[in-house]
């Protein structure tokens, strides 16, 4: 059934039906390897973070798994059983096989159909909602289905993603049409991410950023690749209710010239930047380490310059 809040309104500013169609369309495209390299790269980096945790996870959940970009990097010694969830059934039908016993479930990532305290590990790679409403809902859902002392490891696009493209399109629209509308979904700022995870109930938080830059011959090649790779294949095209249906040819030509002039490389190509936020958060359990009481420290930060002397005195 369609998820709650799929009609225009304040509760959900994005068209979930269109997002499902986009992801299903992208999953059926030929030669997915040509457009999936970014998701596979980020999926491998999330798997590395899972390996850094020295424990075995009996049951794990991959939220917005797509074709299984994280699972292909994991081992059955680390994850004993995996549930993959995606809104697009075509993506799950064409999933990459892995050595981990896997169950695939078609469901909206914002409305997870699982009981509370079910999973030991939840991962998500580039499929969490990028706007504040979707992200907040998704994080709350993940926290709810995690067991106490369970861990969430995720990645999402950051606020500076595709800034070259967005700036060029906006300037061209302002010049040729007297105004502009968004053509790429908005992204969350890193300053808000830690606060959001904390409000959802996660503790022992880690948030770090990375950038992946890809060079293209020009703006039209960027747009063509994004249709197959990022904007559609990753399900992050602009699905806002107030989206503009098309760009005029003159506007596109002007944007291509602005892109080349402002960001062009010495070799004639143009860059497209993908900023990635990685996040790790734990669900509270009484066995977890707790911070010391305020004022219980025996050494001041001002004494750090004297650390060598303190260590020698301690040995004596």
What pLDDT digit, counting tens, does each position of 100-114 carry? 999 999 988 778 999
- Residue 65: which of 77, 54, 79, 51 has the closest Cα? 79
Q: Compute the chain's Rg from CA coordinates.
A: 22
- Which pLDDT score, from 0 to 100, does residue 23 have? 66
Helices (H), 52-162: 89-93, 132-145
* Residue 157 pLDDT greater than 80, yes or no: yes
pLDDT tens digit string along 56-65? 999 999 998 8
pLDDT digits (tens, 9 = 90+) for 9-68: 444 445 566 666 666 666 666 565 566 788 889 999 999 999 999 999 999 999 988 889
User: Which residues pair with residue 188 across a beta bridge?
Assistant: 158
* 53 Cβ contact partners less than 8 Å away, ≥ 6 residues apart: 151
pLDDT tens-digit map of 193-209: 888 899 999 999 999 99
The domain total for the chain is 1
| Euclidean distance between CA atoms 208 and 165, whole angstroms | 24
> What six digits make up the tokens of 29?
């495209």
Please indicate whether residue 89 or residue 3 has the higher confidence score (pLDDT): 89
Residue 238 lies in a domain: no
Q: Does a structural domain hold residue 229? A: no
pLDDT digits (tens, 9 = 90+) for 110-156: 789 999 999 999 999 988 765 556 788 889 999 999 999 999 999 99
Which one, of 161, 185, 175, 180, lies nearest residue 257 by Cα?
175
* Residues in contact with 297: Cβ distance below 8 Å, sequence separation at least 6, in sequence order: none
**pLDDT higher at 216 or 247:** 216
User: Mean per-residue pLDDT for 165-172?
Assistant: 91
pLDDT, tens digit, for every residue of 220-276?
998 888 876 544 333 344 444 444 556 788 889 999 999 999 999 988 999 999 999
Instruction: For residue 309, tell me if it sits in a domain.
Output: no
Q: What is the CATH number of the domain that holds 87?
A: 3.40.50.150
Q: How confident is the model at residue 297 (pLDDT cuts 50, 70, 90)?
A: confident
161 occurs within a structural domain: yes
Q: How far is CA 245 from CA 131, 152, 230, in A?
A: 20, 36, 18
Percent of the chain with pLDDT over 90: 44
**Is residue 248 in a domain?**
no
pLDDT of residue 302: 73
Phi, psi of 215, deg, nearest 5 = -100, 140
307 lies in some domain:
no
CA 238 to chain centre: 15
Rounded CA-CA distance 239/92 in Å is 22
152 assigned to some structural domain: yes
3-class state of residue 277 by DSSP:
strand
Looking at residue 2, what is its pLDDT?
40
More reliable by pLDDT, 146 or 1 = 146
- Indicate whether 7 pLDDT > 50: no
Evaluate whether 58 touches 80 at the Cβ level (below 8 Å): yes
Q: Residue 14: exposed, middle, or buried by beta-carbon count in 10 A (0-12, 13-18, 19+)?
A: buried
Q: Which domain holds residue 79?
A: 16-166+186-216+272-285
- Judge whether 46 and 68 are in contact, CB under 8 Å: no
Task: Provide DSSP, 29-45.
Answer: SS-GGGT-HHHHHHHHH
Q: Tell me if 80 is assigned to some domain.
A: yes
């Amino acid at each position: 059934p369609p998820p709650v809040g799929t009609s225009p309104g304040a509760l959900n500013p994005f068209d979930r039906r269109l997002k499902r169609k986009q992801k299903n369309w992208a999953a059926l495209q030929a030669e997915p390897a040509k457009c999936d390299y970014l998701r596979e790269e980020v999926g491998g980096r999330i798997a590395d973070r899972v390996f850094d945790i020295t424990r075995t996870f009996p049951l794990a959940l991959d939220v917005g798994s797509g074709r299984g970009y994280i699972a292909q990097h994991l081992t059955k010694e680390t994850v004993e059983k995996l549930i993959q969830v995606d809104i697009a059934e075509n993506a799950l039908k064409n999933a990459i096989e892995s050595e981990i016993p896997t169950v695939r479930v078609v469901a909206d990532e914002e409305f997870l159909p699982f009981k509370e305290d079910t999973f030991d590990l939840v991962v998500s790679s580039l499929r969490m909602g990028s706007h504040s409403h979707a992200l907040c809902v998704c994080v709350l859902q993940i926290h709810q289905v995690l067991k106490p002392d369970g861990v969430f490891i995720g990645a999402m696009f950051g606020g500076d993603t595709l800034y070259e493209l967005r700036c060029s399109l906006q300037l061209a629209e302002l010049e040729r049409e007297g105004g502009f509308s968004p053509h790429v979904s908005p992204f969350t700022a890193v300053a808000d991410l830690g606060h959001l995870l904390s409000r959802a109930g996660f503790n022992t938080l880690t948030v770090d950023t990375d950038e992946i830059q890809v060079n293209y011959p020009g703006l039209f090649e960027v747009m063509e690749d994004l249709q197959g790779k990022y904007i559609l294949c990753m399900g992050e095209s602009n699905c806002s209710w107030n989206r503009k249906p098309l760009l005029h040819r003159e506007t596109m030509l002007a944007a291509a010239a602005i892109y080349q002039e402002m960001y062009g490389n010495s070799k004639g190509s143009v860059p497209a930047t993908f900023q990635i936020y990685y996040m790790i958060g734990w669900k509270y359990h009484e066995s977890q380490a707790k911070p010391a009481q305020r004022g219980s420290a025996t050494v001041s930060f001002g004494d750090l310059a004297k650390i060598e002397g303190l260590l020698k005195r301690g040995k004596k």
